[in-house]
Chain A
Amino acid sequence: MNLISVTSPHTTGPSRTQRVMAQVLLATLPGLAVLCGLFGWGSLINVVWACAAALACEAAVLRLRGKPVGFHLADGSALVTAVLLALAIPPTAPWWLTLVGVGFAIIFAKQLYGGLGMNPFNPAMAGYVLLLISFPVDMTRWLPPFEAPDLATSLQLFLGRDHGIDALTGATPLDSLRTWAGDAAALAAQPALHGTFAGLGWEWVNLAFLAGGLWLLWRRVITWHIPAALLGALALCALPFWLHDSARFASPLFHLFSGAAMFGAFFIATDPVSAATSRTGRLIYAALIGVLIWVIRSFGGYPDAMAFAVLLLNLAAPTIDYYTQPRSYGHSKPKRGIGG
């Protein structure tokens, strides 16, 4: 006899971390495709470069920490971080920008906290915020949609030869809104604000990420709680102000389909490691992100707010967990705190 002796259960479900990660990566493809369609090859180049950089950083740190490199690389989490960060960076970004962001995300925001599962902050957003604060100009140089530069130009930009880049860049819908808010006539004159149903071009980006997100929902990789609460809170905040003063405040629809709204709701805020734990906790967590996004977009100094909002709520997640433990079977009320 050659028996294996393990304790129950003796069987496990099909869910695997690698598979979860792979599905997340797959779900970003529509968004990536639309980004490339609108803004050229920059995003794809970013993604590929970021993946390579992330794997290298992760492997290096794992080796330093004396961990089995192949085993941990195989979980795919580094790739997810890299792809999400690369999608958030403008397609005009030079190579070093991506490298700095990814390096920080993997080495500082993830591995130094103990690796996968231990990081209190979403690594991709930590990297993004670092870049946004350190290189605000490079990080806000978006191209006007539907005027995608050719591959050669994109490569030039990637290599950091930015001659004439400023001639290429254009304001995003959120930029335009922030600049001209309150001036109805000027707002009406901004082409970026008048797409088919929301901001020009960005509506399609958001739609694509929404499609990917819905697929993740359908595959049960994520649950509805975070996206629904985030988008719901964002729309709910926007609605009364827009009704009150539409020359100053954007419509809920515009908010939902601008900037990183869908991307953030389905791909960033749903990162389980840095989110709250219980279902109630996640609803609260995501709703607060939604509120913060609206507040920062409407009153803050940055055109978009996903990264800040997510990081702030990452910080609050333990407190949310503290107050939202479920009531266990056979107990009359939920417990509070962490005991001990």
Chain B
Amino acid sequence: MSLLSRLLPRRRFDFHGGIHPPERKALSNGTPIRPGPMPAQLILPLTMHIGAPARPLVQVGDRVLKGEKIAEASGPVSVPVHAPSSGVISAIEPRPIQHPSGLDAPCIVLDTDGEDRWTALHPHPDFRAIPRPELLALIREAGIAGLGGAGFPTAIKLNLRDNQRIEQLILNAVECEPYITADDRLMRERAPALIRGIEILRYLVQPAETIVAIEDNKPEAIAAMRAAAEGTGIRIMTVPTKYPSGGEKQLIRLVTGKEVRSGGIPAEIGVVCQNIGTAYAVERAVVHGEPLIRRITTLTGEAFTQPGNVETLIGTPVQALLEAGGVTQPHRGRLIMGGPMMGFSIDHPMSPVVKTSNCIIAAPLTELPEPAPEQSCIRCGACADVCPAELLPQQLYWYSKAGEFDRARHYNLLDCIECGACSYVCPSNIPLVQYYRYAKAELRKQAAEHQKADRARERFEARTARIEKEKAEKEARRQARLAANRVKQAPDAAAPPAQADLKKAVNDASAAYKTAVKAAKEAEASGADNAVALRAEAERLKAHADALKANLRDAKAAGPAAPAHDDGLPALKKAVADASAAYKAAVKAMKDVEAGGDGDIDALRADTERLKAEADRLKAALRDAKAAAPAVVAAPVQEDPVAALKKAVADASSAYKAAVKAAKEAEASGDGDLDALRAEAERLKPTGSKPNCVTPRRRPRPHHHQPHRQPPRLRPPAMTRSKNATSA
């Protein structure tokens, strides 16, 4: 940071939209953090983080100590799980957990023995003495995954490339969701430990500046953090109370004025964002050697007689927390894990608290009533006014509801952070976020199917390429042998075999012609747009067959008198036949795909085209060879250029395939370089070696940004219109 920018007063930034729901924080922020209950059973899901599930290291019946690792990370994006208390593993099986899918998930179940005996811990009070890679490993081994948001493994976010300069390390202590006060209490009560944790993160990331962002509705926490940060250079920044200022992207904009690219990560713009609770977990892990086995969770909602914050063991069933908070009556109403804006309904009270569970809300219906029935969208635009991602939520809604997911994606559905601000303000009670989740899931499904098809195509291509290569090699060997023989016994070479070869070639060519005619007819009948090309191809094959026939006649006429005429030709002819066969197979595959209406048709077509080019080239070589026939001894010499050519063709086509693949991937990930990649692919595409050969034309892809002539009135189709409105 330049001196000037240090001296100038900081600009305040803002993000678009946002809402001010009732905060309701006073329900739970008045009392100190208290220890959570010691339940008889702890349920530890193997996926409490984003990424691959952890792999159990224990078996049923094993006795474990508090802090012992019971499941290990199973990949780069994964973290281990530790025993939150001592006891015996009683089951490893699917259990109900809080998950939007409502499905059970594999869990390790630990029957606690009440002794709460620790395993041996390895504290590192002087973290600066540890090299950074080791420190990162330590954090990963402690099982730390973002405590505030989705639970992304923390070590990965902190692991930067060597040349990556981080300007801002932002500690997200905004806690903008109503009701939740876990970070608030944590900062009020444990500010020095938090600052230590932040120092560790700083040491790892080496940012130019470190900022703790706190919403201005937490004056006590701000004061405590200011006092603790005194002299460290860590800046405590207050941000105006507005939901969702704690969303990572919104916070980055708020603090730095920078925007994370759509689909990108903050590190690209020199920002690392960590939750303040994560900083605490890091401090416990490094300075005290304690893995992540407990967290601060807010118990709130009017159903709790003793709301407040508890430091609860991870794996504690929600039921135990309800009891600990004084919910004695069977609870009726809403039970939510997380905040009221983005939290999830808990269907089963035995679902456990996980690493990301910052809040349990038990609210009677008087507090959070049942959703009102959905009415028609009146296009009031209130949703667009509050959307922090600057989307047009009502358009997303129309398209999601109508099942036009590609259009929804065009309207940047994938940038929706599901903050719920739009649903909150919608006067017609439309559960907008629910529609977006549905549409996103559908898009994901489509992408997965696409990928599957891609993989199938790649396998097919690899196989074709391998077979061709083998064939080519065999051919080369055979030709070498033949040529060698021929040189030796040229005078003895007999015409009949040569003629037989030619005859076979003629037959092959006629057969190919017939197939092509048939294909062309079918294509014409079905109105496929390659019909013309196929027809031309058939014509060409016919001409070829005729030429071959003429050759055969000539050969017959020449009779035994021209034995040399066919030297080296059989091999080439065979190659021609093989190539045509491969071409035919490809055409068939293409047809099948086309019939199936799959999207990979372009790739296949390119493939086909390439094969045809190969066949043409070989045929040309054959003709050349025939022309050169009198020069018998020249035959072996001719092979070399053929092999070289073949290799060049193979190289070109594999380069092309790679380019196509890259383009596909770019497309799938919505990357901006798509056009460049496509152009590159086009450039690499092998072209027919004969200028006059007719190649099946690539069908132009449907263009995405083509303006429609019709006024794009945003109406769902008639189908959805008729069953509109009530969600009864």
Residues of A whose CB lies within 8 Å of any CB of B are: 1-13, 15-17, 19-20, 65, 67-68, 71-72, 75, 77, 114-118, 120, 223, 272-273, 275, 277-279, 282, 315, 318-319, 321-322, 325-331, 335-340
CB B98 to nearest CB in A, in angstroms, measures 11
The reply on B192 being an interface residue by CB < 8 A is: no
Please state if B431 and A4 are interface contacts (CB–CB under 8 Å).
no
Measured CA separation A277–B332 after assembly (Å):
40
Smallest Cβ-Cβ distance to A327: which chain B residue: B390
Smallest Cβ-Cβ distance to A20: which chain B residue: B427
Please state if A328 and B389 are interface contacts (CB–CB under 8 Å).
yes
- A residues in contact with B343, CB < 8 Å: 8, 10
Please state if B331 and A75 are interface contacts (CB–CB under 8 Å).
no
- A residues in contact with B305, CB < 8 Å: none
Measured CA separation A12–B372 after assembly (Å):
9
If A4-B345, A67-B725, A329-B15 touch, whether A278 touches B384 (CB-CB below 8 Å) is yes
If A71-B725, A77-B378 touch, whether A11 touches B424 (CB-CB below 8 Å) is yes
Measured CA separation A335–B415 after assembly (Å):
13
The reply on B726 being an interface residue by CB < 8 A is: yes
Please state if B411 and A339 are interface contacts (CB–CB under 8 Å).
yes
If A319-B711, A340-B404 touch, whether A330 touches B262 (CB-CB below 8 Å) is yes
Partner-binding segment picked from B36-44, B614-622, B700-708: B700-708
Please state if B708 and A338 are interface contacts (CB–CB under 8 Å).
yes
- B residues in contact with A340, CB < 8 Å: 404, 406-407, 410, 704
Please state if B410 and A118 are interface contacts (CB–CB under 8 Å).
no
CB B504 to nearest CB in A, in angstroms, measures 52
Measured CA separation A186–B198 after assembly (Å):
82
Partner-binding segment picked from B132-140, B333-341, B628-636: B333-341
Tell me the B490-549 residues at the A interface (CB within 8 Å).
Answer: none
Measured CA separation A331–B418 after assembly (Å):
18
Interface-central residue, B381, B404, B707, by most chain A CB under 10 Å: B381
| 8 A-B contacts (beta carbon < 8 Å) | A6-B371, A67-B725, A116-B375, A118-B715, A277-B381, A330-B262, A335-B411, A338-B708
Please state if A17 and B410 are interface contacts (CB–CB under 8 Å).
no
Smallest Cβ-Cβ distance to B344: which chain A residue: A8
Measured CA separation A278–B249 after assembly (Å):
22
Which are the 3 A-B pairs with shortest beta-carbon distances? Answer: A339-B410, A9-B420, A330-B262
- A residues in contact with B235, CB < 8 Å: none
CB B399 to nearest CB in A, in angstroms, measures 8
The reply on B19 being an interface residue by CB < 8 A is: yes
If A4-B333, A117-B378, A330-B264 touch, whether A12 touches B389 (CB-CB below 8 Å) is no
Residues of B whose CB lies within 8 Å of any CB of A are: 15-16, 19, 21, 100, 178, 249, 253, 259-264, 330-336, 338, 340-347, 349, 361, 363, 365, 368, 370-373, 375-382, 384-385, 388-392, 394-395, 404, 406-407, 409-412, 415, 418, 420, 423-429, 431, 433-434, 437, 704-708, 711-715, 721-722, 724-726, 728
- B residues in contact with A68, CB < 8 Å: 725-726, 728
CB A220 to nearest CB in B, in angstroms, measures 9
When the two chains form the complex, which single residue of A12, A75, A335 contacts B376, counting CB atoms closer than 8 Å? A75
Measured CA separation A339–B406 after assembly (Å):
7
- A residues in contact with B426, CB < 8 Å: 12, 15
- A residues in contact with B263, CB < 8 Å: 330
Please state if B714 and A338 are interface contacts (CB–CB under 8 Å).
yes
Please state if A115 and B724 are interface contacts (CB–CB under 8 Å).
yes
- B residues in contact with A8, CB < 8 Å: 338, 340-344, 418, 420, 433
When the two chains form the complex, which single residue of A272, A318, A329, A338 contacts B381, counting CB atoms closer than 8 Å? A272
Smallest Cβ-Cβ distance to A273: which chain B residue: B379
Please state if B345 and A7 are interface contacts (CB–CB under 8 Å).
yes
CB B171 to nearest CB in A, in angstroms, measures 21
CB B58 to nearest CB in A, in angstroms, measures 32
- B residues in contact with A120, CB < 8 Å: 713
Measured CA separation A71–B50 after assembly (Å):
43
When the two chains form the complex, which single residue of B342, B418, B420, B427 contacts A17, counting CB atoms closer than 8 Å? B427
Please state if B412 and A335 are interface contacts (CB–CB under 8 Å).
yes
Interface-central residue, A11, A327, A330, A336, by most chain B CB under 10 Å: A11
Measured CA separation A339–B411 after assembly (Å):
8
Please state if A329 and B249 are interface contacts (CB–CB under 8 Å).
yes
Please state if B425 and A326 are interface contacts (CB–CB under 8 Å).
no
Measured CA separation A105–B393 after assembly (Å):
28
- B residues in contact with A331, CB < 8 Å: 262, 412, 415
Please state if B390 and A329 are interface contacts (CB–CB under 8 Å).
yes
Please state if A10 and B437 are interface contacts (CB–CB under 8 Å).
no
Please state if B409 and A339 are interface contacts (CB–CB under 8 Å).
yes
Please state if B378 and A17 are interface contacts (CB–CB under 8 Å).
yes
Please state if A13 and B425 are interface contacts (CB–CB under 8 Å).
yes
Measured CA separation A8–B365 after assembly (Å):
15
Please state if A318 and B434 are interface contacts (CB–CB under 8 Å).
no
When the two chains form the complex, which single residue of A3, A20, A75, A338 contacts B380, counting CB atoms closer than 8 Å? A20
Smallest Cβ-Cβ distance to B330: which chain A residue: A1
- A residues in contact with B15, CB < 8 Å: 329
- B residues in contact with A338, CB < 8 Å: 407, 410, 708, 712, 714
- B residues in contact with A277, CB < 8 Å: 379, 381, 384, 392, 394-395, 714
- A residues in contact with B713, CB < 8 Å: 120, 318
CB B294 to nearest CB in A, in angstroms, measures 25
- B residues in contact with A272, CB < 8 Å: 378-381
Please state if B390 and A326 are interface contacts (CB–CB under 8 Å).
yes
Please state if A322 and B712 are interface contacts (CB–CB under 8 Å).
yes
Measured CA separation A326–B426 after assembly (Å):
19
- A residues in contact with B21, CB < 8 Å: 11, 13
CB A327 to nearest CB in B, in angstroms, measures 7
- B residues in contact with A6, CB < 8 Å: 345, 371, 431, 434
Interface-central residue, B376, B415, B431, by most chain A CB under 10 Å: B376
Please state if B433 and A335 are interface contacts (CB–CB under 8 Å).
no
Please state if A12 and B410 are interface contacts (CB–CB under 8 Å).
no
Smallest Cβ-Cβ distance to A340: which chain B residue: B407
Please state if B381 and A114 are interface contacts (CB–CB under 8 Å).
no
Interface-central residue, A8, A318, A325, by most chain B CB under 10 Å: A8
Smallest Cβ-Cβ distance to A117: which chain B residue: B376
Interface-central residue, B15, B344, B368, B375, by most chain A CB under 10 Å: B375
- A residues in contact with B330, CB < 8 Å: 1-2
- B residues in contact with A15, CB < 8 Å: 382, 425-427
- A residues in contact with B333, CB < 8 Å: 2-4
Please state if A11 and B721 are interface contacts (CB–CB under 8 Å).
no
- A residues in contact with B712, CB < 8 Å: 318-319, 321-322, 337-338
If A118-B715, A272-B380, A329-B253 touch, whether A3 touches B345 (CB-CB below 8 Å) is yes
Measured CA separation A7–B433 after assembly (Å):
8
Please state if A19 and B334 are interface contacts (CB–CB under 8 Å).
no
Measured CA separation A117–B708 after assembly (Å):
23
Smallest Cβ-Cβ distance to A16: which chain B residue: B427
Measured CA separation A282–B368 after assembly (Å):
35
Please state if B100 and A7 are interface contacts (CB–CB under 8 Å).
yes
Interface-central residue, A3, A16, A116, by most chain B CB under 10 Å: A3
If A326-B392, A338-B712 touch, whether A12 touches B423 (CB-CB below 8 Å) is yes
When the two chains form the complex, which single residue of B368, B705, B714 contacts A10, counting CB atoms closer than 8 Å? B368
Please state if B16 and A71 are interface contacts (CB–CB under 8 Å).
no
CB A16 to nearest CB in B, in angstroms, measures 5
- A residues in contact with B341, CB < 8 Å: 8-11
